[in-house]
Structure 1
Amino acid sequence: MSCDRTVALGAYLLGSLDPAERSSFERHLHGCSVCRREMVRLAPLPGLLGQVQLSDLELSLDDPGPGPDLWPLPPRDEPEADPPPARPRRRRRPVLVAAGVLAVLVALAGVLVPRLARDDGPAAVTWHASDGTSGVVASADLVGKSWGTELWMTVENIPKGLRCKLIVHDRAGRAEIGGWWGTDHAPDERIPGSTSFPVGEIERLDVVVDMKVLVSVRP
C-alpha cells in the first residue's frame, strides 16, 4: 500500500512547506497511516544531517559501472529522423523539489539507519517536566549513541493543529533542532528525535511552538 503524497514528506520534515501546504499536509497525515509510518521512520534524519560525511554519499570512481552503448552510430548519409513536436511543459517544480528532498532523506536513511541499529548505547535515561502556565506535560527518553543522543518524546495537553519543534541545549550554550512534528497525535505516542550532543552534555530540551517555549524538560 502506498500514497502519492509521501513525496511532500521530505519538504514537510525540513520545514520548507508554506503555511497553507503545511496545514493541508498535516490534515492528510491525520487520516493516512502510510504517511504517518513513513514520517516516524524519517523523523530523526533532519537532526542527523550535520553528521553526514561527504564520503558517505560519494559514488565510487573506481567502478563507475557500464555506460550506455553508443555503437553503432548511424551512417552519415542517412538523414536523421525529425524530432517529435515538443509538448508544453507543465509547472511541476514544487512536486519535483519535494520528491528530491524525500529522495535525499531516503538515501540518508540507507546510510544512517543501519548505523543506528549497530550502536549499542547505554540504557535510556528519562526526564519528566510539566509547565504550570501552558499545562503541557512532557517526558523524554535519552539514549546515548556513538553519534550523539537518540531522543523519544511524549507530550500531553498540547493543543491540536500546531507544529512543534524540539530545541536541544547543551551545557556550553549551544543549541540544535532535535526534531519537528505535528501535534495531532495521541497523548501516549512516542515521537522520535536526535541530537549530536552526548547525553551528559545536554542541559535541557525545549518544546517550542511559534517561538514560544511550552515546556522545558531537564534532568
Structure 2
Amino acid sequence: MTEREHEQLRVDLGAYVLGQLPAAETERLEEHLDDCASCTAELAELTPVAGALAALRGSPDRTAPDEPPADLGDRVAGAVGHAARDERRRGWARAAGVATVAAAVAVVAALGVQRLVAEDAPAVPTEAVGVVDRAPGVDATAALVAHTWGVEVKLHASGFAPGDRYRVAVLGTDGERYPAGEFVGTGAREMDCNLNSSVLRDRAAGFEVRDDTGRVVVTSTF
C-alpha cells in the first residue's frame, strides 16, 4: 500500500465514525484497521467525539423560537461525509477525519446551546413610559428596563433628521442629567436604539433627546 492510499483511508475515518461511509469503502477500511495500529488508534480518538454528536442528535426536542429542523444532525453528518470523500479525492487533508467530526459536533452543539438559551432565558420586564415629541415630524415611543447596574431606554422612533447626531440623557431625581448614549437620525426610516445609563431606577425621573444645537426634541417622564 502506498502512502497516498494510506492517507485516503485515514481520511475515511471521519465519515466512518459518523456512519456515512459507503458499504464497499467501509469493508475496505475495516480490513485495513485489522492490520494498522496507527489508524486503529486514531479511530479510538474519533469514536468518543462521534458519540457526543450522536447524543446531541438524539436529545429530546425542546420547544423554542426558530428551532433548528429535526433532521439537522443527519444533514450535517451527510455533508461531512461528502466533504471527507472530496478531501480524499484531492488527497491533501491529512487530518480530515478529526476535523470533520469535530466540526460536525461544534455545529450541532452551537445550535443546541442556542436553543437552550432561547428557551431558558427569562423575559426581561419592560416598563412603558410616556413620550412627548417636541420636533416636527418626530414620532417616538419608548420603554424602560431596570437593571442592577442602571436603566436602559428602548427608543423606537422615526423622523429624526438623517445624518444628524442626537444625544440622550437620563434625568435623575436629583435634577442632574446623566449621559445615556448617542444616535444618528435616519429620517423617515424607523429605528430602534437601546440607550444605557448608570442611574438606578429609583433615582431616574425621565429622559430627553437633544439635537446638536442642544434643543430638546423628545422628552419623557417616568
TM-score bucket (shorter structure): 0.3 to 0.5
TM-score w.r.t. structure 1 length?
0.41
Greater relative contact order (CA < 8 Å, ≥ 6 in sequence)? 1
Between structure 1 and structure 2, the one with the greater Rg is: 2
More helix by share: 2
